[in-house]
Amino acid sequence: MKKSVITLAVTATVGFGTIFGGTSVKTEAASISSLKGEQNKIQQQRSDINSTINQKNNQITDLQNQQADVQNEITRLDKAIADSTQKINETTAKLESTKAEILKLQGEMEVIKDRIEKRNILLKDRARSYQETGGMVNYIDVLMGATSFSDFVDRANAVVTIMQADQAILKEHEADKQELETKQEQVKANLESIQKMVADLQTLKQQLNVQKAEKDKALASLKDQETEVHEGLMDLQEQDELLAAQQAAIQKAIKLEQEAQARAAAQAAAEAAAAAKRKAVTSSKGTVSSGSSSVASSGATPGVSSGYWTQPAVGRLSSGFGGREDGNHFGVDIANHTAVPIVAAADGVVIRSYLSSSYGNCIFISHSINGQVYTTVYAHMSSRLVGGGAVVKKGQQIGVMGNTGSSEGQHLHFELHKGPWTQDKRFAINPVGIVPLP
């Protein structure tokens, strides 16, 4: 997922010196006011982020509504394409039926043509006979050749019959010619009409397919936009979660500082009372001595160093800070073939403890050392022993070395940030020379 830079503008000033035995009460008292100021800044940032989250949610809703509209249009086009396809199939079937009718008409036309041809031959014979006999004069000769009145009548009826037959032949001839022309025109018109209908439907279907392709493209674009907005929303939500975790850590630090101040005030009052009592006594005996002992390493657990920092794990330094073949390395790697404990490098409050796709099992801890906020990151662990908001001491076990997330071989990926952790790791510094390392 392409993430935008998550900038945690958080400067949590956690005064762990007095909590875990170190700096002056005045420094811690002053830090409470600073911590509260940082809390206000964080709250404002969270308010701005939540406003942006609401905008992103509204944008997603708008994109989803647009997708619904486009999807409805695609559904309509799908139905129109299906309808045009059905009509094309029906019209094509009708075209085949029309072709069958055309074949039938062509057969009928052949019969008509045959009749016309035969009549043409008959009419030619009649015309030739008229030329040879003189036409109507021949009919008069027939009538005048009657031997009796009865014979005349018979001859007259015969002549009328012949003439009517000739007229009937001519009429049939003309009718057949007209029918032939009509059927030819009908066949031509039907064929052209259906062919045009099929062509129009195919054109319509092509247009609908083009429109659907455009809508599919528009829908894909809207989905891509929604995915991008979702990714931005997830970045904002993660940023808000980290801010909230940092805010909770600061709140816990304030409470711890207040409790420490109360204890320090009580201790100061007790010491003052004891001093006054000693002053009243004429003689005193004994001396007060103080000292510290370092915790020796036990097994694979590193010994707790003096000072603010201690080694986070036992092993060998397999990769340093800075550029390498696969890009910048914003931390150092400590490798070991056994499941060694991972310890907190300094006193602090756990900001976040979770399973990351890249860091694997990881823990973020916020530290305040001499008024400077530091953040340490412990990644690729096989397991985590502390959760978000936990107060940890330097050298306290927080997990076990592993090979989770984007990791090659068992090791601890350790980061040190002078300030808050950010997605672009702008505050990452080389821990060598600051934190004891193998």
- When mean pLDDT is compared across 17-21, 215-219, 353-357, the lowest value belongs to 17-21
**Rounded to a whole number, what is the largest CA-CA distance in the chain?**
198
Average pLDDT over residues 5-23: 39
> What do you get for the CA distance between the two ends of the chain, in Å?
35
Return the pLDDT at 215: 84
The pLDDT of residue 34: 64
Q: Could you give the angle at the alpha carbon of 211 between the alpha carbons of 210 and 215, nearest 5°?
A: 120
Q: Report residue 340's pLDDT band, with 50, 70 and 90 as the boundaries.
A: very high
Percent pLDDT > 70 in the chain is 72
Q: Give the per-residue pLDDT at 226.
A: 81
Architecture of domain 308-438: Distorted Sandwich (2.70)
Please state which CATH number belongs to domain 48-280. Answer: 1.10.287
pLDDT at 27: 53
Alpha carbon separation from 435 to 54, 300, 301 (Å, rounded): 42, 18, 16
Domain ranges across the chain: 48-280, 308-438
Lowest mean pLDDT among 54-63, 236-245, 353-362, 393-402: 236-245
pLDDT digits (tens, 9 = 90+) for 120-168: 676 666 555 555 554 444 556 555 666 666 666 655 566 556 666 666 6
- Model confidence band, residue 387 (pLDDT cutoffs 50, 70, 90): very high
- 354 three-state secondary structure: strand
Hey, do 48-280 and 308-438 end up sharing a CATH topology, with the first three levels equal? Answer: no
pLDDT exceeding 90 applies to what percent of the chain?
21
Q: How many residues does the chain have?
A: 438
For residue 212, what are the contacts with CB-CB under 8 A and spacing of at least 6? 74, 77, 78, 81
The pLDDT, as a whole number, for residue 14 is 41
pLDDT value of residue 16: 45
The predicted model gives 245-250 an average pLDDT of 74
**Residue 418: DSSP 8-state:** S
| pLDDT (tens digit per residue) in 79-100 | 888 888 888 888 788 777 777 7
DSSP helix/strand/coil, 230 = helix
pLDDT of 406-422, one tens digit each?
898 999 999 999 988 87
Which of these ranges, 85-94, 113-122, 224-233, 278-287, has the smallest mean pLDDT? 278-287
In this predicted structure, the answer to whether residue 178 has a pLDDT above a threshold of 60 is yes
Helices (H) and strands (E) in the chain, counts: 4, 13
pLDDT at residue 123, rounded to an integer:
60
Tell me the pLDDT band of 290, cut-offs 50, 70 and 90: very low
Collect contacts of 207-211 with beta carbons under 8 A, ≥24 apart.
208/77, 208/80, 208/81, 208/84, 209/81, 211/77
Q: What pLDDT score was predicted for residue 382?
A: 96
pLDDT at 145: 64
Higher-confidence residue: 260 or 339? Answer: 339
Q: Are the C-beta atoms of residues 14 and 250 closer than 8 Å to each other?
A: yes
* Three-state secondary-structure class, residue 334: strand
Pairing status of strand 428-429 against strand 383-384: unpaired
* 51: CB partners within 8 A, 6+ apart: none
| Cβ within 8 Å of residue 37, ≥6 positions away | none
**Cα–Cα distance between 65 and 57 in angstroms, integer?**
12
- Of 103, 82, 98, 299, the closest CA to residue 201 belongs to 82
Question: Nearest-CA neighbor of 319 among 328, 307, 310, 306?
Answer: 328
Please name which of 180, 241, 312, 358 lies closest in space to residue 6, comparing C-alpha atoms. 241
pLDDT at 10: 36
